[in-house]
Structures are given as structure tokens and as C-alpha cells.
Amino acid sequence: MDLTRRHWSLSAILLSAALATLLISPRLSAAATENLAFQVRSKFAGKREKDLRALKAHDAHRHARLLSAIDLPLGGDSQPESTGLYFAKIGLGTPSRDYHVQVDTGSDILWVNCAGCISCPRKSDLVDLTPYDSGASSTAKSVSCDDSFCSYFNQISECHSGSTCKYIIQYGDQSSTSGHLVRDVMHLNLVTGNRQTGSTNGTIIFGCGSKQSGQLGESVSAVDGIMGFGQSNSSFISQLASQGKVKRTFAHCLDNKNGGGIFAIGEVVSPKVKTTPMLSKSAHYSVSLNSIEVGNSVLQLSSGAFDSGDDKGVIVDSGTTLVYLPTAVYNPLINEILASHPELNLHKVQDAFTCFRYTDNLDRFPPVTFQFDKSASLTVTPRDYLFQIQGDTWCLGWQTGGLQTKDGGELSILGDMALSNKLVVYDIENQVIGWTNHNCSGGIQVKDEQSGAVYTVGAHNLSWSSSLAVSKFLTIVSLLVLFLSNIAL
């Protein structure tokens, strides 16, 4: 999830002091035998003139047997002027009802808005919102304080025997969700063949949100909840792994050209990825960054430029839209990117985005390559780090400041703008993350752990309402007006 949130999502995410934190949680080692996959889509498509500010704030803002891989239907994109978020469709309860939840590798727990929720969004331009009603599900059961799972969220002294287990989550943008835990059936798409799925289900514990605040209470671009894919015992994937139903391995391929993409649980056989070790002491999916290259030039950075107190290294987070870097890294990076274009007249939009007018080929800007341990590298092209708000007006997706650790350090986060158009594999079992450039509108191959068969999982792009296209147009127009007014000043 965005720690800022979102993200930034990477959204910085904190549980209250009395609760188990989303940012720091114990890891689970479990043998697994199955794979899963999902469909996903984005959240920030079609917002008005305050959208870019909201997007950044949002950044400062988952007992039946499962077989083979799981395919999550996916929607959205990573463009700040469009959706700016990826979300998936899942089924909950008996009978099953569909819910659209943001897919977030930066947080852990799955939660959805519940019937009777206070300050929950009532309408969205993205999806038809569906409040979860445990009373309408024959398989729903409340989780009591006596359940061992409750210890992940409450101190024993604050949860009394026989009472319902409560949860509270506070995100980096000070938005929050609270409610109680529920155990119910989740319905998923089981991979049964090449680009073919059937229905399967599994019982999990998730949050039933009774009160939302901040960004989570907004209606224009709301979804039903957040599905965290973090490493803690409370995460969706760890719950399935603890039951021996899946390996703690998943992958996403976020399509920033056509929208949507691929999100699957299971071992990816093809394409192959180059991996780098996860930092063992980080609660996030963090990796060690050795250097940054801008074109053919290596930035001269201090050895501790990416050490941010408790959060060392760089966080890989699908819940964050933009890329966030410490000031000591951001300034030389931007200077080097723009060095070949001294003619540009730079302006700030909403005090957050560096923008300019440009009519030439974007490929005249240099690619930015991050070099990690074990010779792994990730290249972000100009078409990934620049986004167009109207006509010949372009903005940089790099950001600095605002996202901090609990001890005041600056977070380094690789969000969707760096991860798009790449297959990214999170192998929690072996504590490595890997990626490779890939056409995310195509497919990937995953292995059926039981039969050994290899199946192709295809891309999805969940459609959104026609009103979203209108809102998106209004957003672009309003941003252009704001940009032009800044120039006039």
C-alpha cells in the first residue's frame, strides 16, 4: 500500500502504538503447495484540480483447498493524471459478493468497508461500492480476543476474553480505518489451464471497517478496501501459506500503456527475472541500492544516502504511485536529468510537481538506472517517469520530502511509475525480489505445484464507469488552467 497514503503507499504506514504495526511485523515461514492469481485496476482516474495534491497525500497514505495458481483480475494504472492506483476484484461471503480492493505490497491486512460504517465513502467514480454485511453471509464468524490471530492487532491487556477482536490502522497521511476482525470465505480465480480459470475459495481473517477517516473516507475515487500483500503473519498471502495452500511467492506486471495487467500468486516460470536480496531487518519489501545512473553518468552520492533510520535501503511498493527519494539524492538526480535541457522553463504545479512545456521526442531525456546488490538493475525510461497533463505540458514523477520514518529519516520508495511495464516477483520464501522488462498486456507462466504443469496467466483490465472518462477530462483541463496561471504569475 502507499506508504504516504497511500503509498506513499508506501504508501508510511503505521499501526497505533498499542497495535501490531503494518510496517513492522513478524515473518512466517511455511511450506506451501499451491499458486494463485488476481485481476487489478487503478483508483485515481478522473479527479479534479486537487487531484495531484490528493494523489501525493494519498501516497503519504489482502477451509477449502486451493489448487494451482490464483489469478487476481486487475485494473488501473500508475499515471498521476489518471487512475494512479491498481485494484483487484475479489469475492467474500456466502453467497459471494464482489469487492474491489487496492492491491498493496506496502501493508499487510485485508480490510473492507462494512455495512453501517461511519464516514465510509458512499459512491465512487471508479466502481460500484459494496459494503460487507457479515449478517448476510452464512459463513461469517466474528474473531474473538481469545483467537491467537487477534494478538497481531491488540495488546492482551486491551482485548478481553469473550469480546470481539478490534483493529485500528493509521496510515502515513493520517487517514485511518478501524473496526473488528471477521473470518469468512474468500472466493478466488483458480488457474486451471492456459488463460483459463475456475472458482475456488479459502477461509481467511480480515478487517470489517466500521469507521474511516481522511483519504479513506473520500468518495470520488474510492474502492471497497485494501488488500495488503506484506510479509507479516496477518497478510492475506501469509494466512494461505500458514495453511499450506500456497507458497509465499507472488508477482505483478502493471500495464501502464493499456491499464490493468497481471497479479498472480505462485511460482513464475517464465519470464525469468534477475533477483536481489531483501533486507532482512526491514518490515517492508526493501532492497539495498548501490548506485544510480542517469544516462551514462553515475550520480555521486554519500554511502549512507539511502539509510533512513529504521528503514534502510529502498522500499518496493505497488501501493505507491510515484517514486520518492531523499533530498540528498533527489536534487542531483533532477539536475542531471535536466542538464541536457537548459532551455526548459520549469514551474511547480500544486507545490509538488516540477512541470514544463516540451514538444520534442521524450527519448531525448536520459533513462535512470538503479543498481542493486547481486548485479540486479532496474531502468526507468523517460516515458515512465514523465507524465503528460495536457498537450505539450509534462511533469516529473520523482518526489522528495514528506515521507518519513518514525525516527524522522526520509523514505526511499519505488512506486508504480518505476515498476510499471515490468514483471516484478516477490519470493518471500527465499527472501529475494526480482524483475525484468515485460509486455504486461501479454502473459506470464506459473507452475502448478502439485501436478508440475505450467499454465499461462493472461492480463486483465477491469473497466470503470463512463463518468470516469468525463472526470478525467475535467481533471486535465483544470490542471492545465492551474499550470498556465502559474506561468502568468
- Has 317 been annotated as catalytic? yes
Active-site hit among 317, 416, 427, 448:
317
Cell of 333: 538526480
Which are the contacts of 219, defined by CB distance < 8 A and separation ≥ 6?
121, 122, 123, 124
**Is the separation of the CB atoms in 474 and 48 below 8 Å?**
yes
CA distance 74 to 85: 11
Which strand ranges, in their side-by-side order, compose the sheet holding 314-316? 286-287, 314-316, 413-414, 323-325, 398-400
- Has 104 been annotated as catalytic? yes
The residue written with cell numbers 525469468 in the block is 272
Active-site hit among 59, 104, 108, 311:
104
CA distance 307 to 402: 16
User: Please, what sign has the CA dihedral across residues 399, 404, 405, 408?
Assistant: positive
Helix and strand numbers (H, E) in the chain are 6, 34
**Is the separation of the CB atoms in 264 and 446 below 8 Å?**
yes
C-alpha dist (Å) from residue 309 to 22, 312, 329: 17, 6, 16
User: Phi first, then psi: what are they for 411, rounded to 5°?
Assistant: -80, 145
Closest CA to 84 of 125, 123, 111, 51: 51
Give me the active site residues, please. Answer: 104, 317
